[in-house]
Structure 1
């Protein structure tokens, strides 16, 4: 995903260990993992809702705009021409 190899990953972990400290590193990793999981769930929800809207928009029949709306009992609201 980020094209990070093993040496780069080790370097990131060493820098994080120096900056955060050994006692806080597991807590930081746990909270970062939870945040990343929550972000992925939210992204999946957004993707699912967009897919749902696209699918329902494709399935709706097209409305015909050339026919005027009908009034009560199937009569048109416009007066009839004689």
Structure 2
């Protein structure tokens, strides 16, 4: 069971044309292309949101670390 040969593909194409009609096939292809494009756009937006959330979390960690270091320095100065 490998890839279908050329005659088999032509038979399949003929059946598709008979089922959907020659005018309907470009509309179906356009709809599929639009759907794929929207899916990719949604995936890209989701990745961007995840990246933004990750960067925000990293900034918060850096701020907390900086605050902790400053607090430790202030405590050291008080003790000295």
Count of paired positions? 57
1:25 CA drift (Å)? 1.0
CA distance in 2, matches of 1:42, 1:28: 21
User: How do 1:1-82 residues align onto structure 2 when only pairs under 5 Å count?
Assistant: 15=12, 18-19=15-16, 20-23=19-22, 24-60=24-60, 61-62=63-64
More helix by share: 2
Question: What TM-score does the superposition give when structure 2 sets the normalisation length?
Answer: 0.54
Gaps of 5+ in 1: 1-6, 65-82
Residues 28, 48 of structure 1: alpha-carbon distance in 2 compared, 3 angstrom cutoff: same
Question: What TM-score does the superposition give when structure 1 sets the normalisation length?
Answer: 0.53
Aligned CA RMSD, in angstroms, stands at 3.0
SS at match of 1:56: helix
